[in-house]
C-alpha cells in the first residue's frame, strides 16, 4: 500500500479533505457500513404506483411474479441454473486451474465430471453441472471459502452477495459469454490481497503457503471494496491506519484485547461522533465482583482522587461512574461507533504501554496512541466542507477539550472503521510481514481450507457476541 509522508494538524486535514472530497464523489457507498441516522427517520414516502402491464401481458408476465393458489402474488425466486454451450463450459473448465493462484483448491470444482459432461455434449446435464460449479466459484471468490463456524468472533456482514447476486452474475456471464472475466471480477480489490497473491506465487514452504491462503481468504470475508476513505486496524499488528484513496495518510499504535473472553472481535462499523472527556460507567462485574462499589463508598478521599462517584439505590444496587479527567480509563477521547459488542477506539492514561511490542492488554476495546490527534482529525474530517472551515472547528474542539466536560461532537460525515485480523499482511511500511496469532484464530481457518468444501454456507455468524465487561486500564 502506498504511504504518504507523515503530516500532522491542519496540513494533514487539508490533504484529507481534498482527497475525501473526490472520494465522496465516486465512493461506492453501498459497499460501506451504512450510517445510522442521528435523528428519527422521516416517514417513508408512498410507494410509486406500479406500471400497467403491456398490451397482451398478464400481471404475472409483466412482473415475473408467481400467483399462489390463494391469489397472493409472491416474488419469483431467481434461477441458479442457465443454459450452457459447450464453448462456455470449456471456458469454465479452463478457468478452474487458475483458482490455485487465488489460494483456492481446483479439486473442489469437479473437474473430471465437467470434462465428461462437455464430452457428452450440450443438454440439461451439462447446463446443470456447469451452473452448479459456476455458483460454487462465485460463492468462494466473492464470499470466501471458510464457513462461518470457522471464523472465530467474526461479526462483519459482507454486502457483496446482495450487491453482486449469484443469479445475476450467472445470467450476465452466459449472456456476454465471458465466463472468466465475470469470475475474475469478484477478487478483492485491496492492494494487500494482490500482495498476498504475489507472495503465494513464489512461496515453497508448505506452512507458509497455508498461511498465505488463509489470509487471502480473510480478504474475501470483507466487502470487495472497503471504500475510498476509512479507518482500519489489524489487531495482531497492533496498528491503526487512516486511509484515503488507497494511501495510508496516518498510522497509530494500538493496544487490543487480551486473549480469552476479552479478545477484540472483528467488526465493520461507522464512527458517528467523537466523545471528548468521556465518562466511564463501571460494569457490575467490577462494582460488585471486585468490590469497587463498597470501596468507593467507604473511601471518599481515594474515590475523589481516582475520579469515581458512586450512588446506592434503595434496593442496595451500587452504580459507579468514573468522571472525566486525566485518570479516566478511557483517557480524553473515544470514537463513538455504536455496536452490540460495546467496542470502540479510545485514549488511555497508561500511554507507557504503547512502548511494548506485545500489546494485547485491554478488555476488548482498542486504545490508540495519539488519540487526541486522531480525535481532532476526525472532528474536522467529519464536519469541515473545505479548508476555510478548519480553524473554527479546531478552536471549538480545543475549547471542549480544555473544558474537561463530557461532550459528544457529532460527525456529519461518518467514517467506516474496520477491525480486522490478518496474521500475514503488508505492514504500515508496505512490507510483507507475519504477525503472531494472538487469539489462535488461524487453526480453524487452515482446517476449513484443507477440509472438503462445505455447501450451503451461512452468510452470517451464529456465534454469540462476547460481552466486553470493561476496559479498565492495565498498569
Q: Where in the chain are the domains?
A: 2-20+231-279+324-421, 86-220+445-450
Cell digits of residue 277: 472527556
Q: How far is CA 237 from the centre of its chain?
A: 16
Residues 277, 331, 393, 21, CA torsion sign? negative
If you ran DSSP here, which 8-state letter would residue 267 be given? E
Looking at residue 367, what is its pLDDT? 96
In which residue are the cell numbers 412482473 written? 63
The pLDDT, as a whole number, for residue 36 is 46
Give pLDDT, residue 458: 79
Q: Compute φ and ψ for 182, nearest 5 degrees.
A: -60, -45
Strand 424-426 relative to strand 432-434: parallel, antiparallel, unpaired? antiparallel
Angle at 126 between CA 124 and CA 128, to 5 degrees: 65
Q: What pLDDT, on the 0 to 100 scale, is given for residue 270?
A: 95
Measured distance CA(193)–CA(434) in Å, rounded: 14
Q: Where are the beta strands (DSSP E) in 150-193?
A: none
> What's the pLDDT at 436?
98
3-state secondary structure of 408: strand
pLDDT reported for residue 460: 80
**What does CATH list as the number for 2-20+231-279+324-421?**
2.40.440.10
Each residue of 94-110: b (16+ CB within 10 Å) or e?
Answer: ebbeebeebbbeeebbb
Q: What b/e sequence results for 291-329 when a residue is b if at least 16 CB atoms lie within 10 Å of its CB, and e otherwise?
A: ebbebbeeeeeebeebbbebeeeeeeebebebbbeeebb
In a structure prediction context, what are the per-residue pLDDT tens digits for the chain, which is 475 residues long? 444 334 455 666 665 666 555 544 433 333 334 444 444 333 333 334 434 434 333 333 333 444 444 555 455 678 899 999 999 999 999 999 999 999 999 999 999 999 999 999 999 999 999 999 999 999 999 999 999 999 999 999 899 999 999 999 999 999 999 999 999 999 999 999 999 999 999 999 999 999 999 999 999 999 998 988 999 999 999 999 999 888 899 999 999 999 998 899 999 999 999 999 999 888 787 888 889 999 999 999 999 988 999 999 888 899 999 999 888 989 999 999 999 888 999 999 999 999 999 999 998 999 999 999 999 999 999 999 899 999 999 999 999 999 999 999 999 999 999 999 999 999 988 999 999 999 999 999 999 999 999 988 878 887 776 655 544 443 3
What is the reported pTM? 0.82
* Residue labelled with grid coordinates 477506539: 345
Neighbours of 455 (CB within 10 A): 10
pLDDT value, residue 316: 87
Amino acid at each position: 500500500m502506498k504511504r504518504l509522508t507523515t503530516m500532522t494538524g491542519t496540513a494533514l486535514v487539508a490533504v484529507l479533505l481534498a482527497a475525501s472530497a473526490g472520494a465522496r464523489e465516486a465512493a461506492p457507498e453501498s459497499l460501506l457500513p451504512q450510517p445510522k441516522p442521528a435523528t428519527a427517520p422521516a416517514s417513508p414516502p408512498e410507494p410509486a404506483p406500479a406500471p400497467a402491464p403491456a398490451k397482451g401481458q398478464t400481471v404475472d408476465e409483466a412482473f415475473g411474479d408467481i400467483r399462489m393458489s390463494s391469489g397472493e402474488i409472491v416474488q419469483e425466486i431467481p434461477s441458479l441454473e442457465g443454459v450452457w454451450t459447450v464453448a462456455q463450459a470449456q471456458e469454465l473448465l479452463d478457468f478452474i486451474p487458475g483458482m490455485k493462484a487465488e489460494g483456492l483448491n481446483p479439486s473442489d470444482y469437479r473437474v473430471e465430471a465437467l470434462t465428461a459432461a462437455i464430452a457428452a455434449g450440450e443438454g440439461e446435464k451439462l447446463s446443470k453441472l456447469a451452473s452448479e460449479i459456476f455458483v460454487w466459484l462465485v460463492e468462494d471468490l466473492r464470499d470466501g471459502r471458510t464457513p462461518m463456524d470457522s471464523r472465530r468472533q467474526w461479526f462483519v456482514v459482507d454486502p457483496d452477495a446482495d450487491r453482486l447476486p449469484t443469479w445475476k452474475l450467472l445470467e450476465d456471464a452466459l449472456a456476454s459469454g465471458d465466463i472468466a472475466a465475470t469470475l475474475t471480477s469478484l477478487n478483492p480489490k485491496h492492494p494487500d490481497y494482490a500482495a498476498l497473491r504475489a507472495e503465494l506465487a513464489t512461496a515453497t514452504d508448505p506452512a507458509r503457503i497455508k498461511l498465505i491462503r488463509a489470509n487471502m481468504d480473510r480478504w474475501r470475508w470483507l466487502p470487495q471494496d472497503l471504500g475510498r476513505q476509512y479507518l482500519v486496524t489489524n489487531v495482531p499488528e497492533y496498528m491503526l491506519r487512516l486511509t484515503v484513496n488507497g494511501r495510508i495518510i496516518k498510522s497509530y499504535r494500538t493496544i487490543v484485547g487480551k486473549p480469552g473472553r476479552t479478545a477484540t472481535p472483528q467488526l465493520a462499523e461507522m464512527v458517528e461522533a467523537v466523545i471528548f472527556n468521556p465518562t466511564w460507567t463501571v460494569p457490575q462485574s467490577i462494582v460488585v465482583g471486585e468490590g469497587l462499589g463498597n470501596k468507593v463508598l467507604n473511601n471518599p478521599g481515594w474515590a475523589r482522587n481516582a475520579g469515581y462517584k458512586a450512588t446506592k439505590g434503595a434496593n442496595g444496587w451500587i452504580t459507579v461512574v468514573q468522571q472525566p479527567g486525566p485518570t479516566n480509563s478511557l483517557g480524553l477521547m473515544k470514537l463513538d461507533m455504536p455496536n452490540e459488542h460495546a467496542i470502540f477506539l479510545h485514549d488511555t492514561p497508561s500511554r507507557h504501554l504503547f512502548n511494548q511490542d506485545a500489546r494485547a492488554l485491554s478488555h476488548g476495546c482498542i486504545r490508540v496512541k495519539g488519540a487526541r490527534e486522531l480525535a481532532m482529525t476526525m472532528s474536522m474530517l467529519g464536519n469541515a466542507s473545505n479548508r476555510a472551515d478548519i480553524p473554527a472547528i479546531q478552536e471549538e474542539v480545543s475549547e471542549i477539550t480544555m473544558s474537561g466536560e463530557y461532550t459528544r461532537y457529532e460527525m456529519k460525515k461518518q467514517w467506516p472503521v474496520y477491525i480486522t485480523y490478518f496474521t500475514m499482511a503488508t505492514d504500515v511500511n508496505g512490507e510483507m510481514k507475519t504477525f503472531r496469532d494472538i487469539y489462535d484464530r488461524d487453526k480453524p481457518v487452515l482446517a476449513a481450507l484443507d477440509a472438503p468444501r462445505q455447501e450451503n454456507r451461512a452468510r452470517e455468524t451464529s456465534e454469540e457476541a462476547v460481552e466486553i465487561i470493561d476496559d479498565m486500564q492495565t498498569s
